[in-house]
């Protein structure tokens, strides 16, 4: 029973530590919001800036997993290319070492009182109506909880030197007779530990605690750190599992890069750790004993972690292009058709903030618009271009309409989950706008599908429209295609750059064309140029095209966050 209680204490302490880390990471990500995205996308034009960016972001959010998942999501969403992401991933490896320095240096001091004071200071502000204030308070609160968890963790792990039986058991693993066997075993153990706790920071905290309490020697603590370097890559690979090919490549690069680093350091492991031991025994560290404490191996572990990652980046950054080429061969491209059958840009959402989730959803909406534009071209070709491929075109339109139904459903489900988290009023409004856009574009796809069914009826019943009627359908279809193309462009623009007057101008063109066509239609009916059946099918095509124009207007209103574009023009 005592053993079970001790294990539960360790798990509980670890849970408090991870919860504090989660609060810190999410708080700073939410506080940064768009700035975090602009930093990542704007400072990655070359690998050197990318490395600095990755280091800065990871130091800020205190989680390399958060940074790499963010990077994978941005690659998935098309905001970063694979090449641009490589530097950020390398920089994240260095940034994650800062956590161990904080724990190693501050963990020596009695942080519990200070941590409780931080919690007391920040707690009232988490109820603030100002989002920024609330998110910064969450970050400080998380910092305090993290150190309480660390203190509990150190207290929960017994000092092995006072337990001879446990010491004898552990020595069976730490004193293996085969050279390097213990080192390899603890590299594997470090990887598994990171996989289980899903946080390299939590895993390094456990490793440091085991070192301080005497469970493992310094060299095996370093071996665990190497394993944690591999284990931390799994989170991003999980996030990329349902992403597109580019996201998978970014995640695989992270894994291969870290594995290559562990391979070369293992070859030099014994002399490398001996050099660090020599540094710890030097006069410099001896003179700092009052500050660092007698057990300065905690500092040695931080030195090993940081120096290894810096050297690894300096060595392998010159081969990043070759590693990327290797990754591209391992994860080959797939066809567009394979990609169309699922959401391309929405990741698993691991460690994802509402801001990041909305960014992914916005990219998915753009993909939705691209699919609708393809349908508009297919329907136009059906009427006027590829008469010999009618069957294939009809099948393609039906398939794409089916895809849009699923995209709309999945987007609705995804945004509903985002809305369940703690979100601001602005985020809530944007979710409503995205839902509105998705619904309107799904309805456009439905209308094109209905036009296709009526086209099939036209052919099946061998009904032929007069040449001037066909020309009028062509004209209004081209106007709608123009409107859809403009909609796609505006989905990529900033709100202030969108020309509202041009949107209204296109809508008025469509409405004027419909009015003109109606006049001509009634004249043809009066003159008996075509039968009522021909007239019904013709006017149905025209009405449906005009309704597509209305839905395009709705999408623009959602993009701009207004209820009436005409009123907006008058206001300005």
pLDDT range class, residue 449, cuts 50, 70, 90: very high
Beta-carbon contacts of residue 104 (< 8 Å; ≥ 6 apart): 208, 298, 299, 301, 302
Q: What is the mean pLDDT of the chain?
A: 78
Helix (H) or strand (E) holding 77: none
Rounded CA-CA distance 128/140 in Å is 14
pLDDT on residue 337: 44
Q: Are the C-beta atoms of 232 and 176 separated by less than 8 Å?
A: no
Rounded CA-CA distance 112/99 in Å is 18
Q: Of 269, 304, 245, 320, which is closest to residue 85 (Cα–Cα)?
A: 320
Q: Are the C-beta atoms of 142 and 62 separated by less than 8 Å?
A: no
Q: Does 4 have pLDDT greater than 80? A: no
Domains of the chain: 2-330 (no CATH), 353-571 (1.20.58.220)
CA angle 444, 343, 443 (to 5 degrees): 10
pLDDT range class, residue 101, cuts 50, 70, 90: confident
Residue 282 burial class via C-beta count within 10 angstroms: exposed 0-12, middle 13-18, buried 19 and up: exposed
Q: Does 566 have pLDDT greater than 60? A: yes
Q: Of 231, 548, 248, 124, which is closest to residue 376 (Cα–Cα)?
A: 548
Rounded CA-CA distance 168/413 in Å is 54
Q: What is the mean pLDDT of residues 214-236?
A: 84
- The pTM for the full model equals 0.59
pLDDT on residue 349: 45
Beta-carbon contacts of residue 139 (< 8 Å; ≥ 6 apart): 23, 24, 27, 28, 31
pLDDT range class, residue 263, cuts 50, 70, 90: very high
Rounded CA-CA distance 225/477 in Å is 62
């Amino acid at each position: 029973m005592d053993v079970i209680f001790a294990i539960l204490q360790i798990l509980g302490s670890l849970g408090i530590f991870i919860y504090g880390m989660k609060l810190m990471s999410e708080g700073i990500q939410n506080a940064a919001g768009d700035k975090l995205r602009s930093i990542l996308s704007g400072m990655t034009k070359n690998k050197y800036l990318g490395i600095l960016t990755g280091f800065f972001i990871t130091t800020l959010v205190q989680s390399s997993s958060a940074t790499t998942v963010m990077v994978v999501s941005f690659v998935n969403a098309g905001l970063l290319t694979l090449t641009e992401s490589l530097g950020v991933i390398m920089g994240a490896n260095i940034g994650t070492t800062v956590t161990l320095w904080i724990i190693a240096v501050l963990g020596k001091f009695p942080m519990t009182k200070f941590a409780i004071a931080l919690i007391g200071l920040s707690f009232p502000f988490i109820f603030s109506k100002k989002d920024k204030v609330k998110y910064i308070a969450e970050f400080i609160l998380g910092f305090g909880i993290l150190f309480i968890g660390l203190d509990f963790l150190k207290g929960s792990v017994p000092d092995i030197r006072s337990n001879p039986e446990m010491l004898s058991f552990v020595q069976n693993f730490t004193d293996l007779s085969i050279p390097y066997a213990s080192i390899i075993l603890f590299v594997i153990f470090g990887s598994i530990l990171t996989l289980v706790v899903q946080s390299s920071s939590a895993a390094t905290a456990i490793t440091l605690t085991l070192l301080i309490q005497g469970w493992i020697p310094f060299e095996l603590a370093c071996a665990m750190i190497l394993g944690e370097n591999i284990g931390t890559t799994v989170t991003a690979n999980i996030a990329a599992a349902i992403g597109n090919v580019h996201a998978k490549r970014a995640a695989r690069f992270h894994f291969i890069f870290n594995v290559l680093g562990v391979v070369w350091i293992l070859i030099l492991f014994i002399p490398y750790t001996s050099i660090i031991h020599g540094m710890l025994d030097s006069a410099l560290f001896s003179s700092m004993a009052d500050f660092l404490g007698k057990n300065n191996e905690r500092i040695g572990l931080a030195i090993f972690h940081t120096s290894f990652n810096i050297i690894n980046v300096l060595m392998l950054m010159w081969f990043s292009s070759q590693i990327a080429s290797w990754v591209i061969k391992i994860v080959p491209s797939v066809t567009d058709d394979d990609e169309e059958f699922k959401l391309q840009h929405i990741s698993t959402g691991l460690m994802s903030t509402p801001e990041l989730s909305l960014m992914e959803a916005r990219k998915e909406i753009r993909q939705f618009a691209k699919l609708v534009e393809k349908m508009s071209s297919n329907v136009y070709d059906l009427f006027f271009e590829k008469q010999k491929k009618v069957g294939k075109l009809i099948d393609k339109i039906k398939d794409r309409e089916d895809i849009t139904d699923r995209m709309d459903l999945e987007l609705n489900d995804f945004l509903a989950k985002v809305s369940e988290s703690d979100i601001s009023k602005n985020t809530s409004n944007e979710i409503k706008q995205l839902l509105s856009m998705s619904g309107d574009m799904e309805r456009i796809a439905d209308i094109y599908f209905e036009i296709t069914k009526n086209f099939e009826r036209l052919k099946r019943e061998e009904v032929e429209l007069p040449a001037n009627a066909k020309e009028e359908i062509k004209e209004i279809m081209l106007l709608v295609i123009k409107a859809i193309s403009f909609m796609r462009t505006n989905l990529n623009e900033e709100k202030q750059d969108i020309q509202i007057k041009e949107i209204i101008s296109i809508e008025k063109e469509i409405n004027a064309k419909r009015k003109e066509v109606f006049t001509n239609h009634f004249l043809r009916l009066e003159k008996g140029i075509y039968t009522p059946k021909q007239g019904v099918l013709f006017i149905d095509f025209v009405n449906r095209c005009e309704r597509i124009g209305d839905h395009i207007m709705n999408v623009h209103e959602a993009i701009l966050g207004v209820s009436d574009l005409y009123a907006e023009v008058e206001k300005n």
